[in-house]
Copies of this chain bind each other. A is one copy, B any other.
Amino acid sequence: MRYGINETLKKNQLSVTDSRKKILELFMRSNGALAHADIEHQSGTEFDRVTIYRTLQTFVEKGIIHTIPTADNSVRYALCKDECSEGHHHDNHVHFMCDDCGTTYCLDHVIAPQLSLPDGFNATRTDVVVSGKCKNCE
């Protein structure tokens, strides 16, 4: 089960502010990942652009959200699992980006495979991003 908004902020030693509450709420409501621009639009003129950047940065550092690499090199964010914490992400699941609607999903149950790399290469992290058509755009 997922924590509530204020709970999550306090658990991570963050002061509870309007922008943090609102942005975290947007993530919790959304079924896909969010880009900076999505948040800017969905929160109206409520917050400054810079505040959104800083909030996202803080959330990533605390392990509340994670970034998603995409084939078009746009930056997207999605909620982490509860086990993630400051400096320790455990988001080794696969991501899917729909070519039609652009929605980016965390496929929580599809885990990135172990790969055997050439000699001398040592992996600390493996990101898998799949593109194609999502369940709504078939």
Complex CA–CA separation, A134 to B122 (angstroms): 6
Report chain B residues within 8 Å CB of A96.
Answer: 117, 121, 123
With both beta carbons as reference points, the residue of chain B lying nearest to A98 in the complex is identified as B121
A101-116 interface bits toward B, Cβ cutoff 8 Å, 1 = contact, 0 = none: 0000101011011011
A75-128 at interface with B (beta carbon < 8 Å): 75, 94, 96, 99, 105, 107, 109-110, 112-113, 115-128
- Beyond A94-B117, A110-B117, 8 additional contacts (C-beta under 8 Å) are A67-B73, A73-B73, A99-B124, A120-B134, A121-B130, A125-B131, A127-B128, A127-B129
A positions within 8 Å CB-CB of B: 67, 69-71, 73-75, 94, 96, 99, 105, 107, 109-110, 112-113, 115-136, 138
